[in-house]
Structure 1
Amino acid sequence: MTYWRNIGFFLCVLSIFPLVCFSATFVPVDNYLIDCGASATTTVGRRNFTADSLSKDLLSTQEDILATNPLTSSSSSDDSPLYQTARIFRGSSKYTFPIKQKGRHWIRLYFFPFTYEKYNLSAANFTVATQDHVLFSSSNMQKDPVMKEYSVNVTSDNLVITFAPSGNSTAFVNAIEVVSVPDDLIVNDFSVLDPSLSLSELVTQALETVWRVNMGGPTVTPVNDTLQRTWIPDQRFLLEADLATYVSNIGAVRYEKGGSTTENTAPATVYGTLAQMNSSFDPRSNFNVTWNFDVSPGFQYLVRFHFCDLISKSLNVLYFDVYVDSKMAAADVDLSLHGNNVLGVPYHKNLVTPLAVSNKLRVSIGPSDLSKDFPNAILNGLEIMKMNNSMGSLITGAGPVAISSGSSSKSIGMIVGVIVGVVAAVVLAGVFFVLCMRRRKLARQRKSKTWVPLSINDGTTSHTMGSKYSNGTTLSAASNYEYRVPFLAVQEATNNFDESWVIGIGGFGKVYKGELSDGTKVAVKRGNPRSQQGLAEFRTEIEMLSQFRHRHLVSLIGYCDERNEMILIYEYMEKGTLKSHLYGSGLPSLSWKERLEICIGSARGLHYLHTGYAKAVIHRDVKSANILLDEKLMAKVADFGLSKAGPEIDQTHVSTAVKGSFGYLDPEYFRRQQLTEKSDVYSFGVVLFEVLCARPVIDPTLPREMVNLAEWAMKWQKKGQLEQIIDQTLAGKIRPDSLRKFGETAEKCLADYGVDRPSMGDVLWNLEYALQLQEAVVQGDPEENSTNMIGELSPQINNFSQDASASNAQFEGTSLDDLSGVSMSRVFSQLVKSEGR
């Protein structure tokens, strides 16, 4: 009897051996499992989470605050032990994880806002970010335990996760995972829902898991997933539950050896269950099965469909269609084509949506006209992942809304949906009407022709303002900045977009050096005509630069929107970007005087933006890469694609989605999503330290306390030892008082709250003063700057002429707050105190 029992056991092992070998658990190279605030290792399932108090080399924080949940966690999930402790942060704190294998990694953050002593974690206000991406904002915090899962592409040797409290608030985290992901999980194999949408690649995108759903099956826990994912049932998302039926046949799943869909894509417990049409084998059935998901507007989403035919009796009989938000995502799907003529082979499809304008995303399946059997459609699993925006951010101001269940709630939901749709349509129509009337009013007010932002169409023609080049005449500098430029003329100017003429590549597209027929050099920025983001920047750039003319703003010469192109033509700036002259390009180092004059010119341009028009214009992307230099090193502010009109006279701010560049972004704007001119002032303060120290604003290769330039420089500034961190080429060449004034100015720009920051006019004043102090010749003491004898300072600064668009009034009639075109040298002679403003 024992003999036959052993034989049976042996045969059983042999029968499952191929399956075990094929579905072996993925072993991550990087596998950081951290239980924050714990004092000992915590075991969850088959994984051990190490207490961060035992891994202090990973954490950099001002003080150790370890919290223990006074109550037992209300979570019924398998990871509930992780919510029993938390690490609390009263200041900006960082976890630094050394990365052994670069590439895609999970970042999982666990949050449970319990109350511990004086800390009410429900009121915590903070953000979480990596070097490249903003992941989380506590404005979306739920009261129940929650795990937020992100997938990021790590390209550096360290992954730094920063917890940044807002104001006097706190930040916290219960547990963290940083785990390697197989390289083939996210690849550049995808389609787009909107044909006009263009996305170059997925592999660089940061993704947040919004929903991961198992159609027709139960919850799949991390223990049963090779990548420790959780899959939830689909029933609560169904719009009409009685239209779907379920099938389960896990044993029928056959992963194809060498195929692109593996058990790492989704486990057999997902591919082995499905939802299908409840058609009752009626050949007249014609309806869709629809799931409704909450999403955050303003983001694109990666929707991943999982299919596996468990129901067909033969090949090429099941055909169906897939829809997202009522648009065709895949037509006439035949799963036989993806399994080498074998049924039961898993298949997945990636789809990228346009920017979401609603807080709902609908996924539907329905019959195809090609069906050879009774009408049917299936779906086994679904993942919806939020993609980072142009700022690298994944946060939004609105949190998810819980979905109700039951027939009455569905009816209410449908009624609310109709009402919201009607209201939205009316509001959009009203906004469109107001914008049209405002544009007409502005057009009547302007004395000369201005740029007309044109919509990109699907043809090769567009409206024109009557350009003298509309017949294809070669472009010349005589265009007087007023007209559209034909595509053929742009081709000629750039030698048919010769790749050897590329002088830069940015988020909008490539920049080519060009030459007009009269010999004028230009810079031609060619955008991606199918990019929704690019279209918005294209319009904004034209609208903004048509309104302003200033010697410290880069001038726009022309634009082209033919053939679905988005092309902007600027004056050519011979010396390139300020950034390239500071570090990374090997160009000769700038003198301190040159740097001050560049800062002064940039401040003049920004001051003019803030004050030179009826309503302030906020640049929103002030950085060294957007400050260009001509052949004489005169600075001009460029790239107005993110610019936005400032608040009305009776308003304090503009409420808007956060945009800007990481490292330069105003933290108050980031926290409150309220934009003012002071956001530009903050970014300019970062530029000032960048000019002084000649290093990147974010450098993850440096020690953790030096990664963020603004934080690092402010520490030395507050110590009064700024000279310790200046560019070594400037050592001993900056007069102490000039450095002191410059540092004070930068420090004021970086104040936490906008109300405490100076205006750009005040910044300009102080920079002019710093230049005066640098160039001063004081009688009797040539080495030390006696700041009590400012009247004896010899004015040696450049006497920039006032812009032509500004008033021609004499200096005596000029307000001290309107100094965009006035030389400070005449002002300083009136001062008796060295502090300036």
Structure 2
Amino acid sequence: MGFGGFKLLLFIWALFFFCSSPSFSQFTPADKYSIDCGSPTNTTVGGRVFLSDNLASSYLSTPQNVLVEASANSIPQSEYSQLYKTARIFTQPSTYTFQISQSGRHWIRLYFFPFSSSNYDLTTAVFSVSTRDHALLSEFRASGDSVKEYSVNVTGGDLEITFTPSGGSFAFLNGLEVASVPDPLIADDATSVTPPTNFRGLSDRALETLARVNMGGPVVTSRNDSLGRTWEADRGFLKNPNLATNKSNIAAVRYADGEATPDDAPRTVYGTAARMASETDPKSNFNVTWEFPVDRGFRYLVRLHFCDIVSERANQLYFNVYIDDSSVLSDFDLSTKVQGFLATAYYADFVTQSIQNDHIRISIGPSGIRDVDPNAILNGAEIMKMSNPDGSLSGKDVPVSSSKKKKSVGVIVGVVVGLIAVLLLGLVLFFVYRRRKQERINQSKMWTPLSTNGLSQTMGSKCSNGTTISAGSNFNYRCPFAAIQEATNNFDESWVIGIGGFGKVYKGVLSDGTKVAVKRGNPKSQQGLAEFQTEIEMLSQFRHRHLVSLIGYCDEKSEMILIYEYMENGTLKSHLYGSGFPSMSWKQRLEICIGSARGLHYLHTGYSKAVIHRDVKSANILLDENLMAKVADFGLSKTGPEIDQTHVSTAVKGSFGYLDPEYFRRQHLTEKSDVYSFGVVLFEVLCARPVIDPSLPREMVNLAEWAMKWQKKGQLEQIIDVTLKGKIRPDSLRKFGETAEKCLADVGVDRPSMGDVLWNLEYVLQLQEAVLQNDPDENSTNVIGELSPQIHDFNHADANTGTAQFEMSSGDDISGVSMSKVFSQLVMGVAMRVNHGAPSLCNGLARTTLVVFEIIGARVRPFWSPWCNMANVYSCEPWCAMALAFGWSSVDAPRLVGIGLIGMFTVVTHMLVL
């Protein structure tokens, strides 16, 4: 081929490439307003012209014009320094009104820098900012230079932004921008993080940008972004900067049809990346993690930007991406998303559940695919707070701006002409409304019984005595919605104490001053009527000191509201990590575990049919003012299998990290599924870390697997909470680890019952408190090495068995435990002591009496339990309580014989009565 032919071929190839590459025209906003508040002249920032305050005065309605100017040496050096030189003061509510020519999403950017002038100290200003539909800021106090960026969907012909000073204070503003947003920038749907389903409805939400970050590169100023955005550098957000290296190849970036555009992120963002620092180690196995501060109680839209500028060929890079504890992209191959082209811009959107921490973590790490070099990349990230269902981005009640005060002459004339008629009609309607309202109030103060067969579908008959809601009321009653509104200050957002899958939990105060927790179901929640009904049916049957008590419920107006006793100290999880509570001692943690085990043991054995909780986790263990544990949240609970069945076949539900693997694989639910979850909680209590933490190295991500690894090595002390170092007796720690290990057996039949777990935790506490002294066999393997001993086979008891003194802390402490294997093992312990401390005749009589005592007790328990519950003794069988009352630690054989005889007499008496 000649030189001319070569040039022709080159020209054809270039023409083909040019024609096949998409072209993107720069977006021109239909609406664009920029104001330099307080400035006498126009100001140019990032290529955008901000109008002087006097030229923009037509947009503002304010009762007073106050403009202030900062001293030259007080202005911070930043991209927006020019805007920070002046400010406008609002001493009373004031509103900017902008005409909107094209409906859709619009940016609102508010620029703040508090400085001191001769008459005003802007650092003391406290105020709120709102639009007609959304609360943007509440009780805001600027502490430094900041830009608040919002994206709101404007459907009317104008946009109002109102500044409202708090009582005795004032508001201020340095700069303001309003501009149209490209329609495709924010789609209506995204991928929900947990569970990984499709989320719809973003177009109805206002968004606030909390972070916009350029990974692996420098700051990208608004001048270099087509939409005037600023992208921060990522180094300040990296948890461990040494684990990441930067990569840059801006020239290689390409935009493809149907994928990201320059409006989504500029080339300077897609052309830089943070990658794993794994070049020198082909076996690298760690995650690179960024942590971003956020506000609790909101959902977040997380947008992640990717562009493979590190690979040499397609299908070479596979990696995982995590948001907090959830995997959002697994074995992610970017080239499959962009038709195999390298360096092609791409982004993915994710919506989180309501965040309960004060941060969001984004992590990238290597894939588990073999023969793939460990590497992962991230080019950019945006985190946007989503408005709540009330339209608020502030978390508090903020008055939204009123509509325009200017009325047309025609409307005013019409009002004047019809004034007399309106007044007359208004008086009639007022009296009718007042009468009906009074009738509703009178009715709402009445309670209606809860249907014993589930939720009643109507209000039913009213109680004749007009009982009002109070802590002492019977829990089997429906509560009027009006009374709940009063108790929660009309569901004041500042009274929210938690947010879960079902909805928000509010603190409430009843009419008698008693504090309660009010859980209000969210209509959009994935947990609906079935869980609501299950919780009422379950808790209406149970009264136990280690189960959270249900006080009432409400199903008026399609509401799903549950009222519980108030637990002063919140969740066990919040005390273990992440919430700033002081560290708990080992004894406190053990007592909490013991209390929780008692509650679960009661669920499994307290009735003729076991109840399986199905969502045992540290977040569902609540603590009262004395740190006494109570199990909560029974929305997923199921009754256990029939007598002739071994399991319940049901769809898998629960919490990631706590799920029984056998239940997950086979959908076979048993009481042992709760035991597995409780075993995870035990390690969580010991190590004080989340059960799943993707920011950690791979082998440490799953707490259960990581802890079991060290337990099998016999080195569990290496991973315990640092605040417990040197404070746990070795025997206590060893027995605790063995108990947790048994709970986490892969097959359910190999796990202990909850009663056995309870027994062993009591023993762990005794070891910690050094109750077992001078015992030649004080070894966790010898004393209670097996979690399921042959507790009934007294005839073959070894006469040489070492003495073991098992003391319960008090009668009250055991009052929540139903008689089962736990009591059987207590009987066994007494029988063992009798072998060593009593004459043979008394020995034999005591042992025989106690065995009969246990057998008869087990036979009549199903008939006695209802009587126990009615007497509010928490299902504690009378013979068990009697034995404790006589002094369990005594080794006096005649006293044991007396206990046994009185116990038998009690049983016979009750059988005759029943």
What TM-score does the superposition give when structure 1 sets the normalisation length?
0.48
**Greater share of helix:** 2
